[in-house]
């Protein structure tokens, strides 16, 4: 058995330089000071941002007040309102227009049979005068019936058929868009 006996008196024994409790207290105090400093800096930064935003808002409100008193701006706003009102009429205006290119394309590619030859088209108001050649009166009447069955077009009467096969059909255009 070993017994460890320290015969040195307390004054001669080695002591730690800093006690653990003292070190812990110092760390807590430094952490509190650092946190307080950070919060103080953040508060000052936020206060400065708020002050800058308040100045900016005041400046914008001043500009709005100056702009609302401007007679040029009022005239432009009235003109814009008039343009927006007129823009509402554009679709109905376009719906009432006859799109001649689409109408003629529809007539040539969808309605004219192979045996009919179109020599010329003349537009007068909302009517088309179709000049052409047909091999027989039957082919011409079939073409006339095809025109009458189309919802976009209406034949205004069957013309006389000449011995040479030439004819002139008068067709009334009813709609702006061809039916697909």
State residue 175's pLDDT score: 64
Residues 158, 116 share a domain: yes
Residues 121, 60 share a domain: no
State residue 11's pLDDT score: 77
> Is pLDDT at 27 greater than 90 in this prediction?
yes
Residues 71, 120 share a domain: no
Higher pLDDT, 145 or 177: 145
> Is pLDDT at 176 greater than 60 in this prediction?
no
Using the 3D structure, point to which of 87, 109, 124 is the last residue of a domain: 87
Using the 3D structure, point to which of 34, 65, 87 is the last residue of a domain: 87
Residue 52: exposed, middle, or buried by beta-carbon count in 10 A (0-12, 13-18, 19+)? exposed
Residues 82, 45 share a domain: yes
Higher pLDDT, 59 or 162: 59
Q: How many domains does the chain have?
A: 2
- Three-state SS string over the chain comes to CCCCCCCCCHHHCCCCCCCHHHHHHHHHHHHHHHHHHHHHHHHHHHHHHHHHHHHHHHHHHHHHHHHHCCHHHHHHHHHHHHHHHHHCCHHHHHHHCCCHHHHHHHHHHHHCCCCCEEEEEEEECCEEEEEEECCCHHHHHHHHHHHHHCCCEEECCCCCCCCCCEEEEEEEECCCCCCC
Pairing mode, if any, of strands 117-124 and 153-155? unpaired
CB 153 within 8 A of CB 114: no
**Residue 6 lies inside a defined structural domain of this protein:** no
**Residue 163 lies inside a defined structural domain of this protein:** yes
Mean pLDDT of 139-151: 87
Residues 79, 143 share a domain: no
State residue 35's pLDDT score: 95
Residues 80, 104 share a domain: no
Could you tell me the CATH number of the domain that includes residue 142? 3.30.1360.100
**Structural domain harbouring 79:** 19-87
Residues 106, 62 share a domain: no
Using the 3D structure, point to which of 87, 109, 126 is the last residue of a domain: 87
């Amino acid at each position: 058995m070993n017994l460890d006996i320290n015969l040195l008196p307390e004054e001669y024994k080695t002591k730690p330089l800093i006690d653990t409790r003292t070190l812990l207290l110092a760390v807590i105090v430094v952490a509190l000071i650092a946190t307080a400093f950070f919060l103080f800096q953040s508060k000052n930064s936020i206060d400065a941002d708020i002050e800058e935003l308040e100045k900016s808002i005041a400046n914008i409100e001043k500009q709005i007040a100056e702009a609302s008193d401007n007679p040029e701006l009022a005239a432009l706003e009235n003109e814009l309102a008039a343009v927006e009102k007129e823009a509402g009429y554009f679709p109905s205006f376009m719906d009432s227009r006859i799109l001649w290119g689409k109408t003629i394309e529809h007539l040539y590619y969808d309605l004219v049979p192979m045996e009919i030859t179109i020599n010329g088209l003349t537009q007068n108001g909302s009517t088309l005068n179709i000049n052409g050649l047909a091999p027989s009166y039957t082919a011409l009447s079939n073409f006339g019936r095809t025109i009458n069955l189309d919802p976009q077009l209406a034949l205004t009467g069957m013309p006389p058929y000449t011995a040479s096969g030439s004819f002139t059909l008068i067709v009334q255009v009813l709609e702006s868009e061809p039916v697909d």
